[in-house]
């Protein structure tokens, strides 16, 4: 299928690893120029190098989404080196595995800054150009925890629910200007973020109990497996494509049937 992305530019924020990197790679193989932006400068550089080795035009940029100056400098660099941003993927996030009653205002603050203010900052920097050019595709990552709740992830889920409301609202504002915004909401996906959380659980539960947990989790998925980054990247590619021009303000759960909200 021709996704209509050849020669266009994608900015992938939080693109050095996991789902962001998988989507960057998929879009790059469709002929897009890719900016890999991440708070981790070395990972962003290595991510861009991996794409370049695959024959993709790519650059790595260090940017912290919580810092508006970083975000505006990031967009200026992409435009100078790769051209205007046609597709924006907001994938940057942090995770905190903690009971709400054991969490602190500092924990909430950090979470909201990265997972809710981060996408807001990036939208503020990227959308004016898209509106002016009357073309743009924005995909933000949420989580099914925002749709159905999840113990130990309360303030992460709250931040992601905020992103869903933000995207639906802004989609109404910029739809007339040819810009679409959608959400991809993954179930458990085998990325660095999940692996770190699982290592913590294994350490606190012990090997035996943790092995039982893994089996229980898999049984919760009608498809009997958790997701791989490419499962999610395929949905992102669709929402970035010409074929999705009449899809906006939607939440697409890609979750092996874990929940059916
Ligand atoms: N993996 C899952 O099971 C899962 C499930 C539901 C939702 N999600 C969402 O999907 C998206 C991608 O998750 P992932 O699993 O690939 O995570 P990941 O940790 O592999 O990637 C996230 C990236 O964001 C970067 N980042 C963190 N803070 C940043 C900041 N302040 N500025 C810029 N970059 C920053 C990290 O360095 C990392 O490279 C996230 O939004 C996450 O919330 C993931």
Identify the burial level of 6 via C-beta atoms within 10 angstroms of its C-beta, where 0-12 means exposed, 13-18 middle and 19 or more buried: exposed
Q: How far is the CA of 176 from the centre of ligand 1 (A)?
A: 30
Residue 150 beta carbon below 6 angstroms from any ligand 1 atom: no
pLDDT of residue 193: 87
Identify the burial level of 104 via C-beta atoms within 10 angstroms of its C-beta, where 0-12 means exposed, 13-18 middle and 19 or more buried: exposed
What's the token pair of residue 106?
Answer: 């500092």
Low-confidence ranges of the chain (pLDDT < 50): none
pLDDT of residue 84: 98
Angle between helices 118-133 and 68-82 (to 10 degrees): 40
pLDDT of residue 231: 98
Spatial CA neighbour of 43 closest among 69, 22, 18, 17: 17
For a ligand 1 pocket test, name from 68, 72, 91, 255 the mutation site with the most ligand atoms within 8 angstroms of its C-beta: 91
Q: Domains plus CATH for the chain?
A: 9-187+229-254 (3.40.50.720), 191-226 (no CATH)
Spatial CA neighbour of 5 closest among 26, 21, 35: 26
Q: Give how far Cα 193 sits from Cα of 40, 120, 229, 242, Å.
A: 14, 22, 11, 30
């Amino acid at each position: 299928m021709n996704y209509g992305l050849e020669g266009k530019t994608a900015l992938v924020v939080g693109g050095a690893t996991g789902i962001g990197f998988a989507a960057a790679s998929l879009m790059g193989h469709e002929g897009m120029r890719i900016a890999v932006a991440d708070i981790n400068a070395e990972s962003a550089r290595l991510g861009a190098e991996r794409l370049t080795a695959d024959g993709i035009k790519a650059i790595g940029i260090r940017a912290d989404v919580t810092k508006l100056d970083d975000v505006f400098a990031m967009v200026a660099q992409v435009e100078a080196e790769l051209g205007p941003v046609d597709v924006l993927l907001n994938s940057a996030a942090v995770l905190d595995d903690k009971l709400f009653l054991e969490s602190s205002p500092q924990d909430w603050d950090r979470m909201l800054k990265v997972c809710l203010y981060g996408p807001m900052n990036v939208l503020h920097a990227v959308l004016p150009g898209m509106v002016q050019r009357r073309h743009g595709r924005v995909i933000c990552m949420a989580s099914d925890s925002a749709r159905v709740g999840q113990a130990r992830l309360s303030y992460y889920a709250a931040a992601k629910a905020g992103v869903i409301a933000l995207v639906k609202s802004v989609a109404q504002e910029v739809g007339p200007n040819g810009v679409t915004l959608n959400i991809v909401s993954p179930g458990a996906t085998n990325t660095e973020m999940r692996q770190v959380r699982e290592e913590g659980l294994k350490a606190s539960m012990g090997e035996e109990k943790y092995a039982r947990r893994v089996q229980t989790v898999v049984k919760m998925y009608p498809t009997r497996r958790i997701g791989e980054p490419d499962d999610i990247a395929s949905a992102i590619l669709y929402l970035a494509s010409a074929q999705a021009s009449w899809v906006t303000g939607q939440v697409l759960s890609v979750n092996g049937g874990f929940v059916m909200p």
